[in-house]
Amino acid sequence: MQHQFFDHLSSIPSPLRDLDPRVKVVALLSLVLVVVLWPRLTSWQVLGYLGLLLALARWARLPLRPLVERSLAVVPFLALVAVAPRGLQLAGPIFARGALSALAMVILTSATPFPELLSALARLGLPRPLVLILSFMYRYTFILVDEAERMYRAWQGRAVSRQRRVLWQSLGGVIASLFLRSYERGERVYAAMAARGFDGEIRLLSPPKGLRGRDLFFLAAFAALLLAITIAWGGN
Amino acid sequence: MKPASLTVKDVSFAYPDGQHALHSVSLTVAPGEAVAILGPNGAGKSTLLLHLNGILAPAKGEIWVGELQLNKHNLKEIRRLVGVVFQDPDDQLFMPTVFEDVAFGPLNLGLAEAEIAERVRAALSRVDLEGYERRSAHHLSFGEKKRVCLAAVLAMEPGVLALDEPTSNLDPRGRRRLLELLSAIPLTRIIATHDLDLVRRLCPRAVILDGGRIVADGPSAELLRDETLLDSHGLL
Ligand SMILES: Nc1ncnc2c1ncn2[C@@H]1O[C@H](COP(=O)(O)OP(=O)(O)OP(=O)(O)O)[C@@H](O)[C@H]1O
Ligand SMILES: [Mg+2]
């Protein structure tokens, strides 16, 4: 089982982790919006945002390496831009915007346990069906990965043929049956939901919880820094 | 918790692909009674359990829970009254946290949040899992998952518990733990199983199902002594 890859960072205790997840969502999403929508980013701005994010990561006691690795996962997509006409000229700014946005989201999800993130999104007004889909995704990704791993091992065990074509064909079979199993799993999960009174109406728990002083302080400080970097180093 | 009686009257069922899974099954269970449903693979045990709360609808026959005959108008009430614990806990634990999983049923009953929280607390303490509220199912052991499933059903305050192979895949300690819990629950219990030792300890009465038909129904001490009977239905 490889469940480590998802949850272990968000279990590190830190001041950022303890904040209300709603202010984290709002703060980091607004940084992403600025980074993506500001017409022309200057190098100073890029460095400023990067510094802000790294300071945040440090405050959250997050190890740098996994953050950087995860943020760079967007690089292959940026490579697509580079091959477009005039691509190389565009690639620099797009890379900066992409990597900064990714880093912001990685910090958000690493400093917030996923269940809390979901309830924050629900309380910020994300439609309930989407919240439910995300929560299933969280829960069943692990099961799917395990299942795929088991089947892959079984396939390797039986894959005695040296012929490429035969191998690929049988791998196709493995993937098809993974689909089938997931489909059947879906049916059983639905039966289990119905068994506990699910009638199509999605109800979510939302214990009323006010923002505390430190949540508001964080939000204000973050907004001030974001604004300062954007305006002071915005150039012309 | 108030145990309810259960009556299955002449129920027949075929799956959409034409597989006849139940043939005129009749069974009456008194309030508080614990009955084992024994039978080889494919006998129709799971199919029968799924009828008890209307997940599957019989082609012919009736289901009664207490004074209520199952129909589409009282489906919700019947699903509250009959708690089904499925064989694979991963089908039944679909929410991000243990708390949300156990709260799912009460939430669908439309209870107030304070009442829901109280039910979750009571159900988790009933299965010795106090303090597990914020854990995620994929970080639990198999035995713990099984107990969360039981708690999720108990939180609906049912009158009848229907359990599908509750001890399969459990290690000896987890199995013993579950047996202790189940014997302490003063509800009507219907337990589909291959585990003859469980039957001896928990169920004074047993029913043998084979090929979708009830072939024996009586005191389990007697049935379990009859080796030719057990052998001819693949239970030894
Ligand atoms: N979804 C389905 N579609 C078609 N046929 C099914 C379906 N589920 C079960 N069956 C068939 O119905 C019959 C009864 O199956 P059921 O799962 O109720 O048996 P079971 O006694 O629970 O067996 P096991 O001990 O393996 O769990 C079997 O012949 C099975 O192949
Ligand atoms: Mg079964």
Question: Is the pLDDT confidence value at B106 over 80?
Answer: yes
Examine residue B51 and state whether it is found in any structural domain, yes or no.
yes
**B212 CA: nearest ligand 1 atom:** 14
* Cα four-point dihedral sign B226, B230, B232, B236: negative
Q: Do B84 and A207 touch (CB under 8 A)?
A: no
Domain limits at B206?
6-95+159-232
Question: Is the pLDDT confidence value at B226 over 90?
Answer: yes
Write out residues 159-188 of B within 8 Å (CB-CB) of A: none
What's the number of domains chain B is made of? 1
Is residue B76 within 8 Å of B153, Cβ to Cβ?
no
Under the banding of pLDDT at 50, 70 and 90, the label for residue B167 is very high
Phi, psi of B76 (to 5 degrees): -65, -45
Question: Residue A168's pLDDT is what?
Answer: 78
Examine residue B203 and state whether it is found in any structural domain, yes or no.
yes
The mean pLDDT of A180-209, rounded to a whole number, is 88
Question: Residue A157's pLDDT is what?
Answer: 77
The mean pLDDT of A5-22, rounded to a whole number, is 84
**pLDDT averaged over every residue in chain B:** 95
Question: Residue B51's pLDDT is what?
Answer: 97
CATH number for the domain harbouring residue B226: 3.40.50.300
Mutate to test the interface with A, among B49, B90, B113, B154 (most CBs of A within 10 A): B90
Chain B residues in contact with A205 (beta carbon < 8 A): 100, 103, 107, 113, 116
Tell me the residue type at A106.
V
Examine residue B108 and state whether it is found in any structural domain, yes or no.
no
The mean pLDDT of B176-197, rounded to a whole number, is 94
The mean pLDDT of B185-192, rounded to a whole number, is 97
The mean pLDDT of B175-192, rounded to a whole number, is 95
H helices then E strands: how many in chain A?
11, 0
The mean pLDDT of B105-130, rounded to a whole number, is 95
Question: Is the pLDDT confidence value at B27 over 70?
Answer: yes
Question: Residue A77's pLDDT is what?
Answer: 74
Mutate to test the interface with A, among B15, B52, B95 (most CBs of A within 10 A): B95
Question: Is the pLDDT confidence value at A173 over 90?
Answer: no
Examine residue B194 and state whether it is found in any structural domain, yes or no.
yes
Q: Do B97 and A115 touch (CB under 8 A)?
A: yes
pLDDT of A62-103, one tens digit each?
A: 999 988 888 888 777 777 766 666 666 667 788 888 889 999
Question: Residue A203's pLDDT is what?
Answer: 86
Give the helix/strand (H/E) hosting B22.
Answer: strand B20-29
Q: Do B55 and A193 touch (CB under 8 A)?
A: no
Question: Is the pLDDT confidence value at A1 over 60?
Answer: no
Q: What is the ipTM of this complex?
A: 0.93
